[in-house]
Amino acid sequence: MNQDADAVTRAKAAAGSGDLDGAKRLLEEASGAGDGEAMLLLGNLAYRAGEPAAYDWWDRAGAAGLTVGWRHAAVQAGRTEGLAAAVPWWTKLAATQDAEAMYHLGLTAYQSGDQEAGRRWMEQSAELGLGDAMFTLGHWAGQSGDPVANRTWWIKAVRAGHQDAMAELVGEPPAARRDAADLADVREAAAAGNVLRIFRLNGGWNEDQLRSIAEALAAASGIEAVLLIQAALLTRASLPATADPIIAAAVALEPADDDHLARWARALGRAHTAGKPYLVADHVD
């Protein structure tokens, strides 16, 4: 163990025993030699004591390569002084290709009225794989009246494992209303691939409606096929024989390990095949 690391270890032990002054001395010694962890811990101690020096220590830690210091500064500044106060800290983090920092910069810019800058930051975050950014871009697209971009971003978010995006795409079934929607409306929605509309039109399907969805499924592929399966099978109730082609299509899916939506669709098919649609989780692999 090098001398600086030893000083940090002893400082933690001192702090744990209640000797905060001793801990601070040891950390200052290590920080003088450029130890980023010592700077970070000094920032934490200062923050707990209500000292503004916390931000200086966190900044020094970030500059020393421990960028979590900038994250601490951003989070605390945002909580105590408002979102704008966190921008300089998130900006430093974003320069290190930090997707979460870009996400926060995007939110702040968008909420401040600079929608162009907000989208630019959010798109950079999404390019780095942050599901929250993809979900937010989908939400903004929906608000601006662009259903294509809305679905495209939410599908990307689902593939990144974002559960809220999955819930938005598939929808939560309302109380069963088997004949609440005109069959023509269901067919129109199915033909357009608008699964969210299909599912929210009515939470349970009669045989004609299931047949209409099965017809749309036969002509669909990729994510649209998976979403049609989700719409038809996401119910705890047993389905009539009209749904058999949909169940078969679900069971036949061969999704990649990271294709969460398709894996769940296949599990739905297996659960219906087993006659226990309420035990979907047992069939996810």
Task: Please write the tens of the pLDDT for every residue from 223-268.
Answer: 878 888 887 887 767 788 989 999 999 999 998 887 877 888 898 8
Q: What is the pLDDT of residue 180?
A: 40
Q: What is the pLDDT of residue 81?
A: 92
Determine what percent of the chain falls in helix, strand and coil, rounding each to the nearest 5. Answer: 70, 0, 30
Q: What is the pLDDT of residue 177?
A: 38
Q: What is the pLDDT of residue 41?
A: 84
Other C-beta atoms closer than 10 Å to the C-beta of 137 total: 24
Burial class of residue 151 (count of CB atoms within 10 Å of its CB; 0-12, 13-18, 19+): buried
Between CA 278 and CA 271 the distance in angstroms is 7
Total count of residues recorded for the chain? 285
Between CA 114 and CA 109 the distance in angstroms is 5
Q: What is the pLDDT of residue 139?
A: 92
CATH assignment of 1-89? 1.25.40.10
**CATH topology agreement for domains 1-89 and 97-161:** yes
CATH assignment of 97-161? 1.25.40.10
Q: What is the pLDDT of residue 172?
A: 43
Q: What is the pLDDT of residue 214?
A: 87
Domain residue ranges of the chain, discontinuous segments joined by +: 1-89, 97-161, 183-283
Between CA 98 and CA 175 the distance in angstroms is 43
Q: 110 CB contacts (<8 Å, ≥6 apart)?
A: 117, 118, 119, 122, 140
For the chain, residues with pLDDT lower than 50 are 1-2, 172-181, 202-203
